[in-house]
Structure 1
Amino acid sequence: MTGHLLITRATIARMTAPEGGYALLRDGAVLIDGDRIAWVGPTDEIDPDWRALPQLDAQGQLLTPALIDCHTHIVHGGNRAREFEMRLEGASYQQIAQAGGGIVSTVTATRDTDADTLLAQALDRADALIAEGVGVIEVKSGYGLDHETELKMLRVARAIGQQRPVRIVTTFLGAHAVPQGMAADAYIDTVCLPTLEAAHAAGLVDAVDGFCEGIAFDTAQIARVFDKARQLGLPVKLHAEQLSHIGGTRLAAAHGALSADHVEYADDDDAAALAGAGSVAVLLPGAFYTLHETRKPPVAAFRSHGVPMAVATDWNPGTSPMGSVLLAMNMACTLFGLTPAEALAGTTRHAARALGLSDCGAIAPGLRADLALWGVTDPAELSYRIGVNPLKTRIHGGQPCA
């Protein structure tokens, strides 16, 4: 038999329990056939015929699904370290903006950076995530705000998956901000929607996102973007209720969104709407931390209504310059009150759901063999430690890799 791998003596967090928890299997084994999981069970129930297959002895270490970062902005030009410094020196948001900072600076840098350079920088960021056991990365556009640069960003995002053993899911975020010198509605009509159509025609888009906030786009404007996405057969998601409550979460639910992300200002009614729509609440503690926010997402309401909660880095140059999914898991626990089991579900099973993926995020027969082996024996250790990466081996599509 070729193309097989037998993992033995593992502590397996299968992440298949619908009621939560790890679905932990101690002294477990996994048979991989090609890029799929063929069998999962106790080591002492391995078919004797499999003993001649190539084996990986886990020696009791923890095996999980490969992690999934379901919300990132890792394709961008420049950085905003100087703005970070200016804030600490006492500069206000308005003063930074007047100095050419904020999203404007990233848009300018991204427009001015060629695709090869953008890709080289994005690969460095992707490598950092891969090194923490990540097997799927969602990558958004949104720092171009013009036709050419938005398409350039999406092409670069696709190229990451061609140059690294990682799965890339692309999201069109043309409705991220209003470019200087344009009105929001004019931008939606003349730039955002035509660019979305072009990106879809070129096969560059897996989903459509928007930023529904007082400093960006209102619900009526986002609804027009979502209507276009529906016409094109693309799923939607939304940056919603991050800084205020203007109805973005319920708009997302009304459109059957894959997810509503940030959601610090969401309320119980929003949670009920997400539950009814089957949407995921994506929690982004890096932005909460960076912006010194105090309003936390309504985790208790999400639990009460049965809303799946995902966790992601939101890696971006401004509000969440954080390149660690493990740190995001720790912060989701310490800042938002998630349990370690919820944090791991949030970066595996629920993160997959937030991306519309049904073939990964758990360890079960028929799913992709995207796995991570960790030098720990208790899954809570992944959320417990700070600044520690215990990854031993990552398996992508059935192949062990660095």
Structure 2
Amino acid sequence: MKADIVVENISSLVTLEGDNKPRTGNEMGNVGLIEDGIIAISDDKIIYVGKGKLPQDIQIDNETKIINGEGKTVTPGLIDPHTHLVHGGSRENELDMKLKGMKYLDILEAGGGILSTVRSTKEASFDDLYNKAKNSLDKMLELGMTTVEAKSGYGLDTETEMKQLRVAKKLNEDHPIDVVSTFMGAHAIPKEYKDNVDGFIDIIINDMLPKVSKENLAEFCDVFCEEGVFSVDQTRKILNEAKKYGMKPKIHADEIEPLGGAELAAEVEAVSADHLVAASEKGMEMMADKGVIADLLPGTCLNLKIGKMAKARKMIELGIPVALSTDYNPGSSPTENIQLIMYLAGLKMNMTPEEVITAVTINAACSVDRQKEIGSLEEGKKADIAIFNAPNIAYIMYHFGINHIDKVIKNGKIVVEEGKVKKSQII
């Protein structure tokens, strides 16, 4: 077989090879490290991963692109399993409120927060939303991301929710990054339904879900299960209805108050429970028992000035598979920088570099149900690869605040060179 691209002499090749399942406990520290590694690609697939030289049955010629990996760290393409990619406007005006001590739920109650972005998103055209989100995807690609989950939830009416999801679908078709869509009509309660939450839930169940399903616009369904938003019973009702349409459940769980979202995530067998800053020990134990992935978002905690982080160490010790996300959104976490999140996970949640890289590769792949295709560097998997200007994974998190990416390979094509998107690869 002929190789189209070969990356050789790799100082630190991080393969994450193994079973295509979420890693827990000590498994999160096993990253399949190979020194003096080599990886070969044909078309859009990996055809060899190993040490030293290529085997004789893999040929190269003058057309084969040879990349020198000396002094580099090579990992699977990074995966962000929790973003609010498609939205209108921005909320820098809320910074002063936070500095003066206003809490997140107080800002929401005052008509800011999610409801502010809902107004901007309703007013934005399809093209406005597309171009704004595409700009963010370009940044994410330059930071090493090759797959991104994108939620709706800034419409809170059928038309705008569908608009967001259609934008995400078009971006998935056009952009090198794979965009995995999640329906989140239950992101907040519209003002007009403040005293009739059940009436809004009826719209989600009887209008939004059927229409989203008919156009096949979302693979997952998420609900903001939190005090002042949707209760455990309301969340259960929405997610059980979504499951009837084949949408896999996710939950914004116990972000601020210990409402019982972690317990519910285990009950409905959610793919992931996200945030979990206030999750109870019972809820975490139930998640471990059911194999629910804990999708942690330290950037959000930092930006909201919550004063604490999710208990990543406790979760890992309990046997919960941990993933990491930016939670990119215009309010609580306005950053596309997954490398910053990796740093925060180490500094603020005491995760090791090995655990962190596992959390943004194979465990993140499991959180978007793509583990058979991506998340590790193995023969037969998609050639989604990040090449860092760093001698090892610890250096990526140690030297923080900069972009360490040299190259990104997506579907077997070099799409980022010297840390910049190759414009020929972007529509």
**TM-score (normalised: structure 1):** 0.95
Deviation, 1:192, is 4.9
**SS, match of residue 236 in structure 1:** strand
Give the letter aligned to residue 72 of structure 1.
Answer: T
The answer on whether the counterparts of 1:330 and 1:386 sit within 8 Å (CA) in structure 2 is yes
Deviation, 1:97, is 5.2
Which deviates further from its counterpart, 195-204 or 131-140?
195-204
Q: 1:109-160: per-residue Cα shift (whole Å, max 9, x none)?
A: 1001111001111111111111101000100000100000000000111122
Which residue in 2 is equivalent to 1:187?
Answer: 200
Distance 1:65 1:390, change over 3 A: same
The answer on whether the counterparts of 2:313 and 2:351 sit within 8 Å (CA) in structure 1 is no
Deviation, 1:16, is 2.7
Instruction: State how many pairs are aligned.
Output: 402
Distance 1:376 1:97, change over 3 A: closer
- Give yes or no for the alignment of 1:382 onto 2:396: yes
**TM-score (normalised: structure 2):** 0.90
The answer on whether the counterparts of 1:145 and 1:192 sit within 8 Å (CA) in structure 2 is no
**SS, match of residue 307 in structure 1:** coil
Q: 1:179-237: per-residue Cα shift (whole Å, max 9, x none)?
A: 11112111010235421221111011011101001121011111111111221122111
Give the letter aligned to residue 262 of structure 2.
Answer: T
Which residue in 1 is equivalent to 2:339?
Answer: 326
- Map residues 297-308 of structure 1 onto 2, 5 A cutoff: 297-308=310-321
Alpha-carbon distance in 2 for matches of 1:237, 1:193 = 20
- Give yes or no for the alignment of 1:372 onto 2:383: no
Which residue in 1 is equivalent to 2:87?
Answer: 76
**SS, match of residue 35 in structure 2:** strand
Deviation, 1:96, is 4.8
Q: 1:307-364: per-residue Cα shift (whole Å, max 9, x none)?
A: 1110110011111112200001111111111111111111111111111112111111
Correspondence for 2:247 among 234, 239, 251: 234
The answer on whether the counterparts of 1:219 and 1:251 sit within 8 Å (CA) in structure 2 is yes
**SS, match of residue 137 in structure 2:** helix
The answer on whether the counterparts of 2:72 and 2:390 sit within 8 Å (CA) in structure 1 is yes
Which residue in 2 is equivalent to 1:27?
Answer: 36
Alpha-carbon RMSD across the aligned residues, in angstroms, is 1.8
Which residue in 1 is equivalent to 2:296?
Answer: 283
Alpha-carbon distance in 2 for matches of 1:79, 1:178 = 20
Q: 1:378-400: per-residue Cα shift (whole Å, max 9, x none)?
A: 11122222211111110001111
Which deviates further from its counterpart, 338-347 or 55-64?
55-64
Alpha-carbon distance in 1 for matches of 2:341, 2:102 = 27
* Structure 1: gaps spanning 5 or more residues: none
Give the letter aligned to residue 332 of structure 1.
Answer: A
The answer on whether the counterparts of 1:12 and 1:28 sit within 8 Å (CA) in structure 2 is yes
Distance 1:81 1:147, change over 3 A: same
- Give yes or no for the alignment of 1:13 onto 2:14: yes
Alpha-carbon distance in 1 for matches of 2:325, 2:73 = 21
Deviation, 1:296, is 2.7
Deviation, 1:93, is 5.9
Q: Which 4+ residue blocks in structure 1 deviate beyond 3 angstroms?
A: 89-100
Correspondence for 1:257 among 267, 270, 289: 270
Alpha-carbon distance in 1 for matches of 2:157, 2:147 = 27
Correspondence for 1:106 among 110, 117, 121: 117
Which residue in 1 is equivalent to 2:136?
Answer: 125
- Give yes or no for the alignment of 1:138 onto 2:149: yes
- Give yes or no for the alignment of 1:57 onto 2:95: no
Give the letter aligned to residue 380 of structure 2.
Answer: G
Distance 1:201 1:120, change over 3 A: same
Alpha-carbon distance in 1 for matches of 2:185, 2:290 = 24
Distance 1:90 1:288, change over 3 A: closer
Which residue in 2 is equivalent to 1:313?
Answer: 326
The answer on whether the counterparts of 2:105 and 2:228 sit within 8 Å (CA) in structure 1 is no
Identity of aligned residues (%): 34
Q: 1:81-118: per-residue Cα shift (whole Å, max 9, x none)?
A: 01112332566668755764222111111001111001
Distance 1:254 1:49, change over 3 A: closer
- Give yes or no for the alignment of 1:165 onto 2:176: yes
**SS, match of residue 170 in structure 1:** strand
Give the letter aligned to residue 16 of structure 1.
Answer: E
Alpha-carbon distance in 2 for matches of 1:348, 1:316 = 21
Give the letter aligned to residue 231 of structure 2.
Answer: D
The answer on whether the counterparts of 2:298 and 2:310 sit within 8 Å (CA) in structure 1 is no
**SS, match of residue 350 in structure 1:** helix
